[in-house]
């Protein structure tokens, strides 16, 4: 990493967690709160200089207490989220003005591997935006309001986006400044500018915990890892060499089909369950 390229991270955890019936960010997973896994991973990463944790207003004190308990020395701010996810991200961005790069990660994804941070930074270096994703294995149906199938798109070019998503700081700030619609992830805001976004291979274990069934899968992954099994690795590794002032190009979203994805048969949840031993 070039001298002077400061990297900040935002952990977005301000959602209501309605599908879980409880505040999912603080459920006990393997002996510690769910949210702690993501922050621990960023704290341990040699690429990350500072972290902002975005929580609901009701959980700010709880988050500050966790920061002390877990000794998150890179955590510089615990701030309140907004009405929408993009509002929460913008609040987090305001706390990272001194950074050239920003990593945005869902707090509900506990299995953040350092290689996703490393490869995200490496892939984003050329054009300013990169996201991890996995090939979709289920057949996707587009359904109308009556519950009738409108179309069945080919899944060949369909990838399920994950986090951590990596952006040049000025690019993502500009994207959110200009966005006029609700977006479902940060890359979409950049795409709406006409700016390219690079996709690199994520991990089927990098699941987002949103349902009780997801908790079971996550617990299985923890048990497998406790037995000494390592996360599966597919595709070549790239090392980030971040340079100050690299400009991105405007154009289409770009994707790369990395070696090894053909081994997966079945959907992402099934694969995660296989890997977890559940």
pLDDT per residue rounded down to tens, the chain (278 residues): 455 689 999 999 997 665 556 688 999 999 999 999 999 999 999 999 999 999 999 999 999 999 999 999 999 999 999 999 999 999 999 999 899 999 999 999 999 999 999 999 999 999 999 999 999 999 999 999 999 999 999 999 999 999 999 999 999 999 999 999 999 999 999 999 999 999 999 999 999 999 999 999 999 999 999 998 666 555 555 555 444 444 443 334 444 433 333 333 344 444 444 444 44
Quick one: tokens of 26?
């603080």
176, 191 contact by CB (below 8 A): no
Give, in words, the CATH class of 7-276.
alpha beta
CA distance 215 to 30: 10
List the chain domain ranges. Answer: 7-276
CA distance 169 to 97: 8
206, 271 contact by CB (below 8 A): no
168, 248 contact by CB (below 8 A): yes
For residue 274, give the H/E element and its range.
helix 268-276
pTM of the shown model: 0.82
DSSP 106-134: ETT-----HHHHHHHHHHHHHHSEEEEEE
């Amino acid at each position: 990493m070039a001298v002077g390229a400061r990297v900040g991270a935002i952990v977005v955890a301000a959602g209501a967690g309605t599908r879980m019936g409880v505040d999912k960010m603080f459920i006990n997973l393997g002996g510690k709160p769910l949210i702690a896994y993501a922050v621990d991973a960023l704290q341990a990463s040699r690429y990350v200089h500072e972290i902002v944790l975005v929580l609901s207003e009701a959980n700010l004190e709880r988050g500050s207490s966790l920061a002390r308990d877990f000794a998150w020395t890179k955590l510089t701010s615990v701030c309140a989220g907004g009405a929408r996810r993009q509002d929460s991200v913008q609040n987090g961005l305001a706390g990272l003005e001194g950074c050239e790069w920003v990593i945005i990660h869902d707090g509900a994804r506990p299995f953040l591997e350092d290689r996703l941070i490393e490869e995200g930074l490496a892939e984003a270096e050329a054009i300013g935006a990169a996201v991890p994703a996995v090939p979709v294995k289920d057949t996707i149906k587009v359904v109308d309001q009556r519950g009738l199938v409108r179309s069945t798109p080919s899944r060949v070019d369909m990838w399920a986006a994950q986090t951590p998503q990596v952006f040049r700081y000025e690019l993502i700030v500009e994207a959110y400044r200009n966005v006029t619609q609700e977006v479902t992830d940060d890359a979409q805001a950049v795409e709406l500018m006409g700016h390219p976004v690079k996709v690199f291979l994520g991990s089927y274990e990098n699941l987002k915990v949103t349902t009780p069934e997801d908790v079971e899968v996550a617990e299985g992954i923890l048990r497998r890892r406790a037995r000494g099994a390592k996360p599966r690795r597919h595709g070549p590794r790239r090392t980030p060499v971040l340079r100050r002032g690299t400009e991105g190009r405007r154009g289409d979203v770009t994707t790369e089909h990395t070696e090894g994805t053909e081994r997966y048969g079945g959907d992402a949840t099934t694969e995660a369950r296989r890997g977890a031993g559940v």
